[in-house]
Every structure is written in structure tokens, then in C-alpha cells.
Amino acid sequence: MRLSVDLAPQRKFGLTLINPVMTASGTFSNGIEYRKVFDTDRLGGIVSKGTTLRPRKGNAQFRTAETAAGMLNSIGFQNIGVRALVEQVAPVWASWRVPVAVNILGDTPGEYAELARTLDGVPGVAALELNISCPNLELGGMEYGVDCDAAAEVTAVCLRATQLPVIVKLTPNVTDIASIARAVESAGADAVCVANTLLGMAIDTHTRRPVLGRGFGGLSGPAVKPVILRQVYQVAGAVAIPIIASGGVMTGQDAVEYLMAGATAVQVGTATFTNPLAPLTVLNGLERWMQDSGEEDVRNLVGAARSIPAATHRLRTAAGS
């Protein structure tokens, strides 16, 4: 059975994963904690916690709230900063077989470029994931992900600053995600990740206040899967570069659905909070599905459900009407 996929096929050396199951940024810290829990080298890839130029303390409490079949988060990029990451964490990654992509976030295109430059050529860093989609910050984050030109500019400045493959993580909080995907593809992105969290909120009726300290937060978990599945399908109709799906993947079945919608790989995120072994559960489930279906190559699943050419168009019309 062939499980390996390439997330940067246009590159000379590509970005080859031994299987399409990755961890999502912000749901696996920097991968070190779970080294003791399971053999993380079995995963296709790990994405680091969101990293900024300087260390950040993150947002005030409460930072999370459980919702129906999902959760809201407003962590606010508590992280050690890129320099400490390069000095203390990357050397650990360098001894692993599993490739690690660093999720980066800047306040300005210049900061994104500096982050990309700082991580260029660092042993242990296999790729960058540009976070232009975080809903939890005043500056930066989502504002670059909701505008085609800004998304393309951030992508372009990073590509100029590094030799690393660049994945752009898109926000689902837009009218037309396909146009943003097309813009970053034109700017040279190697792959897109669809998508970050959906902006949401929860209210505590007892205190008569929003639950989260910052009011709004990002919704994730099984509740968002139908929305993100639709967006993966739409993006797959708009770009040729690989798509990484991220949105409520809990089981191998979920992964198969995302691949069939057009994703080349999936990220497991919130599921890991409910079950520390979730990434392996997804991988095992995917393998079992392929065995049961007599499918030999995972790449045959990619886009397999895209049998209705007009679906993207029809969906857009429906959303606009």
C-alpha cells in the first residue's frame, strides 16, 4: 500500500510525507510532549505551534470554551519566539524522521520575511506554514488572509526570504476562499492549508459576559467539518498546488472524505485534545479504509469525489443568492 504524498511537487527535492496525516498548528505544541506518548515518527508531518519574532505571553483567560461538538480558542500565540525555537527546539527536531513545518505569524510583511529568513536552512525545519488566518490577534494574522493582494504579498516576501517550501494557511472567514487560494498560488506558494478556525463566540448567561477573555475565538472540532470540507472542495477546483485539509478530522473516515474532496494531506487538531493518540487513530483508520476498499495508492483518493464539475460554481451561486 502506498501512503506517501508530496506537498511540494514543483521543488527539486519536494516535501515528501510518508503518509498524509499531519498534526495541526497549535494542537501539538512543538511535538516534544507527545514524543513520550506515541511514536510520532509514524506521522506524515508535524506543524509547530504558531511562532512569532519575539516571545508572546498570549491572551487573557478564558482562552477556551467548549461548544456543541466543538471548541472555541483564543490562545493568542503564547510562544517562545523564533530565536529560542531555532536554538532550543529545532536541534531536537533535527534528530527526528518526521518532518516539521514551522507555523509563523508576523505583524507586518517585513516580520513574516524576517521569520522566514531566520528559519531558512535551520536543520530540523522542513517547511514553513504562513499563518495569515489567526482570528485571535489585534494586528497581523487574519487581516492578511482576507485580502487577495495582501495574502499574495506575504507569500511572495517569504518565498524570497527562504529556500524552504511554503504552505499558506488560509482563513475560512472569507466570502470566496478560492480566490485567496488562487492569489497565493500565483505568488508561488507550494501548498495551501484549508483552513484555520471559524470565528465564533460563546456567552455565559450567568455572568452576562462573553466566555472568552477576548470575546471572539476560533471554532474547531467536528462541528466545522462540513464547512471546511466544502471549502477544500472549492479550493481544489481553483488551484493545482496541493491542499492540506484541516477541520474537525477525528477519524480515518474524515480523512478519506477530505482526500476525496481534493486534499493531498490532512491535519489532525482538536481531536488530539480528546484523545492523545488521535493522529494515529486517523492514520490507522485511513489504512484500514484503504485495505477494506482494495485501494493501493492514497493518491488515487485525492479529488475522487470531484465528479460534479459544476458543483463549485453552483455552491458559489447558492451562497451569493
Partner 1 sequence: MKQVTARVLECRSLYRDTFVLWLEAPEIARRARPGQFVMLRCGEGYDPLLPRALSIYRVRDGDGGPELGLLLEVVGRGTDWLSRRVAGDTVALFGPLGHGFTVRSASTNLLLVGGGIGVAPLVWLADEEVARGRSITLLLGARSAAYLYPALLLPPEVELVTATDDGSAGHHGFVTQLLPRFAPWSDQIFACGPAPMFQAMTAPLRAVQYRKSCQVLLEQRMACGTGICYSCAVETRRHGMKLICKDGPRFELRDVYA
Q: Where are the strands (E) in the chain, listed by range?
A: 5-6, 16-17, 21-23, 46-47, 64-67, 70-73, 100-104, 127-131, 166-170, 191-194, 198-201, 203-204, 209-210, 216-220, 243-246, 265-268
Dihedral pair phi/psi, residue 243, rounded to 5°:
-115, 135
Examine residue 210 and tell whether it contacts partner 1 (CB under 8 A): no
Residue 29 lies near partner 1 (rule: CB under 8 A): yes
Q: Give the nearest distance from C-beta 15 to partner 1 in angstroms.
A: 23
Q: Binding of partner 1 at residue 63 (CB under 8 A)?
A: yes
Regarding 233 and contact with partner 1 (CB under 8 A), the answer is no
Q: Which of positions 243-272 make contact with partner 1 (CB under 8 A)? A: 250, 270, 272
| By CB under 8 A, residue 127 contacts partner 1 | no
How far is residue 49's CA from residue 100's CA, in Å, rounded to a whole number? 11
Q: What is the DSSP letter of 204?
A: E
Shortest Å, Cβ 110 to partner 1: 26
Q: What CA–CA distance (Å, rounded) separates 266 from 23?
A: 8
Per CB under 8 A, does 75 bind partner 1? yes
Min dist CB 9 to partner 1, Å, is: 31
If one asks whether residue 92 binds partner 1 (CB under 8 A), the answer comes out as no
Instruction: Give the number of residues in contact with partner 1, rule: CB under 8 A.
Output: 35
Based on CB atoms, which residue is closest to partner 1, 61 or 207?
61
Q: Is 207 in the site for partner 1 (CB under 8 A)?
A: no
C-alpha grid cell, residue 121: 536552512
Active site residues: 134
Q: Should residue 33 be labelled a site residue for partner 1 when binding is judged by CB under 8 A?
A: yes
- Binning the chain into helix, strand and coil, the percentages to the nearest 5 are 35, 20, 45
Alpha-helical regions (H) of 130-251: 142-145, 148-161, 177-186, 225-236
Q: Which of 34, 112, 144, 258 binds partner 1 (CB under 8 A)?
A: 34
Check binding of 61 to partner 1 (CB under 8 A).
yes
In this structure, are residues 127 and 7 in contact, taking their beta carbons and an 8 Å threshold? yes
**Rule CB under 8 A: is residue 308 a binding residue for partner 1?**
no
Which of 20, 70, 247, 303 is the binder for partner 1 (CB under 8 A)?
Answer: 70
- Rounded to a whole number of angstroms, the minimum distance from the CB of residue 75 to partner 1 is 5
62/96 with CB nearer partner 1: 62
Question: Is residue 128 within 8 Å of 101, Cβ to Cβ?
Answer: yes
Q: Residue 75: how many CB atoms within 10 A of its CB? A: 18
Q: Which residue(s) pair with 79 in the sheet? A: 56
87 binds partner 1 (CB under 8 A): no
- How far is it, in rounded angstroms, from Cα 45 to Cα 25? 11
> Taking CB under 8 A as the rule, does residue 217 contact partner 1?
no
User: Scanning residues 266 to 305, which ones bind partner 1 (CB under 8 A)?
Assistant: 270, 272-277
Buried b (16+ CB within 10 A) or exposed e, 209-227: ebbbebeebbbbbbbbbee
Please report how close the Cβ of residue 272 comes to partner 1 at its closest, in angstroms: 7
Among the residue ranges 5-13, 69-77, 83-91, 126-134, the one whose residues contact partner 1 (CB under 8 A)? 69-77
Binding site for partner 1 (CB under 8 A): 26-29, 33-34, 36-37, 49, 57-58, 61-66, 68-71, 73, 75, 78, 221-223, 250, 270, 272-277
